Amino acid sequence: MLKYDINRYRELFPVVQAGTIYLNHAATGPLSTKVVAAVDRYLHERSETHIDNYELFQPILIETRSLASRLLNTTPDRIAFYDNTTNAINLLAAGLEWKQGDRVILDDIEFPANVYPFLNLKRLGVEIDFVRNRGGKILVEDIEEKITSRTRLLSISHVQFLTGYRADLYAIGEMCRRRGIIFSVDAIQSAGVVPIDVDGMKIDFLATGGQKWLLSPQGIAFAFISSETQARLRQAYLGWTSIKNFFSEFTKYRLDLDDTARRYENGTLNYIGITSLHESLGTLLEVGIEKIEEHVLDLSDELIKGLRSMGMKAYVEGDRKERAGIVSILVQNAGAYAANLAKARIEVAVRQGVVRVSPHFYNTGDEILTLIEKLESK
């Protein structure tokens, strides 16, 4: 039984009022009226009332950092804002002191954002070990087989962009902590739709972007950096806002880096993006991530049941603990299916030959039933 007033939240999304069944949050999430209104207020302020709004914006910045920390079950001092997930991951890849022969574990179905920052380390003599997926899943025992005495870091997506598989971060984190391996997570397909506990999962570093399940614009992201990981990172890049009390004594050049993860924010931040994230995170946390997870999995269950009735399959169908918001449908000619759905104003995505469906907390069971009907009529 749904544990929140879904109609109240559906009213926040103009895409719903326009008659579109939007099931493509794994690609790009729509903006709510609250986000649009907040951006409009910001633009009005910057254009007419408080042009130099640095001081005025600080409470929003502080509150958004707090909301991001609540989403991950950490403290605000461990959050750093970035422009995208890749650049946040590059903070980790570029900041560690690597030695020739060091090894990094990835897997063979990762989104490229979580691969190229580490592939770039090959120029330093770092080797990459790819875990092979089993039917779209990355299993803990297969990861463990790849560990050697030279393994320094493991990075994995919490939820895989193609198959929708949700990794067991508790088990992987425990394994990495026991072996002294840095544990990095790309959470762009999980943050905002399933709970994340960076402490309980023993995550050392996490990055996520705002434009998907967090329902914010492109160009805003944030990272979690544990205090232990921060102590291991060399400051590969340094900016004027990386130091303590940066807005005073401008010409007293010094290397007194801020004690918090803010030291990695090297200059002016994306205030419009943070304004948006402030509103969207507030909405998601108001609903409750556990409630969102339950509803989205219920929708996924309904879709998988419908697929089976038509003799169709999803990439990952089993235990709810292995799924999140993505259901990838294995079909021949996925493009034709997606085009047919688009004619019915149902928006999904095609990725590497699968039809990827990704409902969020404001989508309804009736919308899923309509999707199933249109798939059947193809």
Q: What is the pLDDT along the chain (378 residues), one digit of tens a residue?
A: 899 999 999 999 999 999 999 999 999 999 999 999 999 999 999 999 999 999 999 999 999 999 999 999 999 999 999 999 999 999 999 999 999 999 999 999 999 999 999 999 999 999 999 999 999 999 999 999 999 999 999 999 999 999 999 999 999 999 999 999 999 999 999 999 999 999 999 999 999 999 999 999 999 999 999 999 999 999 999 999 999 999 988 999 999 999 999 999 999 999 999 999 999 999 999 999 999 999 999 999 999 999 999 999 999 998 999 999 999 999 999 999 999 999 999 999 999 999 999 999 999 999 999 999 999 876
What pLDDT is recorded for position 213?
Answer: 98
What does DSSP assign to residue 123?
G
In terms of Cα–Cα distance, which of 242, 214, 241, 253 is closest to 29? 214
How far is residue 208 from each of residues 2, 79, 115, 353, measured CA to CA in Å? 27, 11, 14, 25
User: How much is the pTM?
Assistant: 0.97
How would you class 101 by CB atoms within 10 Å of its CB: exposed for 0-12, middle for 13-18, buried for 19 or more? exposed
Cα distance between residue 241 and residue 247, in whole Å: 8
Predicted local confidence at residue 272, as pLDDT:
98
Residues spanned by CATH 3.90.1150.10 within the chain? 6-23+288-376
Q: What is the distance between the alpha carbons of residues 146 and 153, in angstroms, rounded to a whole number?
A: 12
Question: What is the rounded average pLDDT for all residues in the chain?
Answer: 97
How far apart CA 190 and CA 153 sit, in angstroms, is: 21
Is residue 198 classed as helix, strand or coil in its secondary structure? coil
Q: Cα–Cα distance between 80 and 207 in angstroms, integer?
A: 9
Task: Give the other-Cβ count within 10 Å of 203's Cβ.
Answer: 26
Sequence-ordered list of residues with C-beta below 8 angstroms from that of 240, at least 6 positions apart, any chain: 246, 250, 266, 267
pLDDT at 318: 87
- Phi and psi, residue 104, nearest 5°: -125, 135
Angle, helices 271-287 vs 33-44, to 10°: value is: 150
Residue 305 CB neighbour total at 10 angstroms: 12
Within the chain, all domains assigned CATH 3.40.640.10 are found at: 41-285
The architecture that CATH gives domain 6-23+288-376 is Alpha-Beta Complex (3.90)
Decide: 328 and 356 in contact? Cβ < 8 Å.
Answer: yes
Domain 41-285 has CATH 3.40.640.10: yes
Tokens at residue 244, please?
């303590």
